[in-house]
């Protein structure tokens, strides 16, 4: 069982284990050693690309990581502030041995993280992360102190432009003519790319793009903005009478939307409209979509009406992707806005998702509201409970009893999904039911049991 890596890399409070300088240096050393055998076959040292989001701790972490990588025999290139999916794309397109993103995605500014991608642009499998983790612990047990961290390499601006060209090439016929859209960059990595991207799309001036939360200061990332707070962009849409709104998380690997009425459009709705569009063009492989255990039963019902099968994977876009690769599915994603278009991207990409949704709206001549009108969702509630530890929940009698009671009561009319967050010290209680009172009753009962037994 992994101790450092969660569902999306290593994450924690910047400056504290596992994001203290000694551990970060050990991560660099271990990754460089892991990459050496593959690189030695070509007679070269491993080449690693590093990108980061806008947190004030990101540069220091990148510098320390660079020190470990170079001490381990790797060469490092910096893409500067850039999105997570951009690093995945560039790692594959430019044949790097690995890509690294310094980001804690949707977490607050004081957190940070380290995400790893292989030379194929995919997140590393659990088995590889476990092997790297074992070496990290070996380095930490060594009495040898880490060397001083050098400055990170000069930023290669060509990387950002290359990714921008890739995005624009995905929607060659897209036009913003006659459309006003609002784009919330979450004061994160999207701030470095979205302004130029949407300016290019609107180069003839036929539309209007209103950018918000695109002035990062190191501490305002995700702060009452972005995909964690989609109601903010929804209000901006109605305020400006815009056609739709787009909002990203801190590293822009996911996107949520708002339609012209100010209604939030989540990842389930995006999966529905994308699946129907791909199916109509004969591009939805096996007529299958991969969602997660958190996706609403209403999505499953709407897809079924369109003769599209829905599979469920564990939460985490890497697990969605694993099931997509195993089944040959060309579309998958999460309710939270991670959407994966196989053949276009190797990971969730918020900017790509935004462009493809705009493209469907443009080609169909329909509004976002019209495209998602028949998605009737079951009432759903998610209660997050801070926990001090993450033991198996079925081994704690009071918690297991509360979960069992909910499952019995909702067996024919709802779902119960209880899981630990892979990136935070939280237990997530998700209840979905036809009866809203029953939903809240069981969610509160399970959350109370967890709080009593494991609460901080």
Taking only the tens place, the pLDDT of each residue in 198-248 is 999 999 899 999 999 999 999 999 999 999 999 999 999 999 999 999 999
Reduced to 3 states (helix: H, G, I; strand: E, B; else coil), residue 7 is strand
Number of domains the chain contains: 4
Query: If we measure between CA atoms, which residue out of 193, 36, 213, 48 comes closest to residue 114?
Result: 48
Q: Look at residue 144 in the predicted model and tell me its pLDDT.
A: 65
Domain range for 139: 5-156
Query: Based on the domain organization, do 208 and 232 belong to the same domain?
Result: yes
**Residue 356 domain flag:** no
Same domain (yes/no): 273, 300: yes
Check residue 264 and give its pLDDT. Answer: 98
Edge to edge, the sheet with strand 339-341 lists 309-313, 288-292, 331-333, 339-341
Name the token pair of 333: 């994603």
Q: Are residues 225 and 337 in the same domain?
A: no
> Are residue 282 and residue 420 in the same domain, yes or no?
no
Is residue 372 domain-resident? no
pLDDT reported for residue 412: 81
The catalytically annotated residue of 57, 78, 105, 345 is 105
In 53-193, where do the E strands start and end?
75-81, 98-102, 111-117, 180-184
Any domain includes 364 = no
Within a domain: residue 362? no
SS3 407: helix
pLDDT value at residue 35:
96
Helix (H, G, I), strand (E, B) or coil at 266: coil
| Tens of pLDDT, residues 66-124 | 999 999 999 999 999 999 999 999 999 999 999 999 999 999 999 999 999 999 999 99
Looking at the fold, whether 90 and 136 belong to one and the same domain comes out as yes
Q: What is the pLDDT of residue 408?
A: 96
Collapsing DSSP to helix, strand or coil, 80 comes out as strand
Q: Are 131 and 44 members of one domain?
A: yes
Task: With respect to residue 136, please indicate whether it lies within any of the assigned structural domains.
Answer: yes
Catalytic site includes residue 342: no
In a domain, 307, yes or no: yes
With vertex at residue 361, the alpha carbon angle to CA 321 and CA 252, rounded to the nearest 5 degrees, is: 45
Q: Does residue 168 lie within any of the structural domains?
A: no
Same structural domain, 64 and 149: yes
Question: For residue 448, what is the domain's CATH number?
Answer: 3.30.310.50
pLDDT of 422 reads 83
Specify the CATH number for the domain of residue 31. Answer: 3.40.120.10
Encode 75-108: b = buried (16+ Cβ within 10 Å), e = exposed: bbbbbbbbbbbbbbbbbbebebbbbbbbbbbbbe
Which of 216, 232, 262 is a domain's end point?
262
Question: Domain check: are 134 and 258 in the same one?
Answer: no
User: Do 221 and 272 sit in the same domain of this protein?
Assistant: no
> Do 152 and 11 reside in the same domain of the chain?
yes
Indicate if 241 and 117 belong to the same structural domain. no
Parallel/antiparallel/unpaired status of strands 111-117 and 98-102: antiparallel
pLDDT at 151: 75
The neighbour count for residue 312, using CB atoms within 10 Å, is 15
Residue 391 lies in a domain: yes
Q: According to the model, what pLDDT value does residue 166 have?
A: 98
Low-confidence ranges of the chain (pLDDT < 50): none
Same-domain check for residues 256 and 287? no
E-strand ranges in 173-322 read 180-184, 208-212, 244-248, 255-259, 264-265, 288-292, 309-313
Last residue of a domain, one of 206, 240, 262: 262
């Amino acid at each position: 069982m992994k101790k450092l890596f969660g569902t999306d890399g290593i994450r924690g409070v910047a400056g504290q284990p596992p994001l203290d300088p000694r551990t970060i240096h050990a991560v660099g050393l271990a990754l460089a050693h892991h990459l050496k055998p593959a690189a030695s076959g070509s007679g070269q040292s491993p080449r690693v690309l590093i990108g980061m989001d806008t947190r004030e701790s990101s540069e220091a972490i990148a510098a320390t990581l660079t020190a470990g990588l170079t001490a381990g025999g790797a060469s490092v290139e910096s893409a500067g502030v850039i999105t997570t999916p951009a690093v995945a794309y560039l790692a594959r397109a430019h044949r790097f041995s690995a890509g690294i993103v310094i980001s804690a995605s949707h977490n607050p500014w004081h957190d940070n993280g380290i995400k790893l991608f292989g030379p194929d642009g995919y997140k590393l499998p659990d088995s590889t992360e476990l092997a790297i983790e074992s070496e990290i612990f070996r380095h930490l047990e060594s009495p040898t102190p880490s060397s001083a961290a050098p400055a990170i390499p000069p930023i290669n601006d060509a990387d950002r432009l290359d990714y921008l060209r890739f995005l624009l090439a995905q929607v060659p016929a897209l036009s913003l003519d006659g459309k006003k859209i609002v784009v919330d960059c979450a004061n994160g990595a999207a701030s470095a790319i979205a302004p130029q991207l949407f300016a290019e799309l609107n180069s003839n001036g036929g539309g209007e793009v209103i950018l918000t939360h695109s002035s990062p200061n190191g501490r305002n990332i995700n702060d009452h903005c972005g995909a964690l707070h989609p109601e903010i962009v929804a209000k901006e849409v109605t305020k400006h009478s815009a056609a739709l709104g787009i909002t990203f998380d801190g590293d822009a690997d996911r996107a949520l939307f708002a339609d012209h009425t100010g209604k939030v459009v989540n990842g389930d709705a995006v999966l529905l409209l994308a699946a129907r569009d791909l199916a109509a063009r004969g591009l939805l492989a096996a007529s299958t979509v991969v969602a997660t255990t958190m996706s609403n039963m209403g999505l499953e019902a709407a897809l079924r009406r369109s003769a599209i099968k829905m599979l469920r994977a564990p939460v985490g876009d890497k697990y969605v992707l694993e099931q997509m690769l195993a089944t040959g599915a060309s579309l998958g994603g999460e309710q939270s806005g991670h959407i994966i278009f196989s053949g276009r991207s190797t990971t969730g990409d918020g900017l790509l998702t935004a462009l493809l949704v705009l493209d469907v709206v443009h080609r169909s001549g329909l509004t976002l509201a019209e495209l998602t009108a028949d998605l009737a969702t079951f009432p759903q509630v998610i209660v997050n409970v801070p926990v001090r530890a993450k033991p198996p929940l079925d081994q704690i009698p009071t918690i297991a009893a509360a979960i069992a009671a909910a499952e019995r009561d909702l067996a024919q009319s709802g779902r119960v999904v209880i899981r630990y967050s892979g990136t935070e010290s939280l237990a997530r209680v998700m209840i979905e039911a036809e009866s809203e009172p029953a939903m809240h009753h069981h969610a509160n009962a399970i959350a109370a049991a967890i709080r009593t037994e494991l609460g901080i």
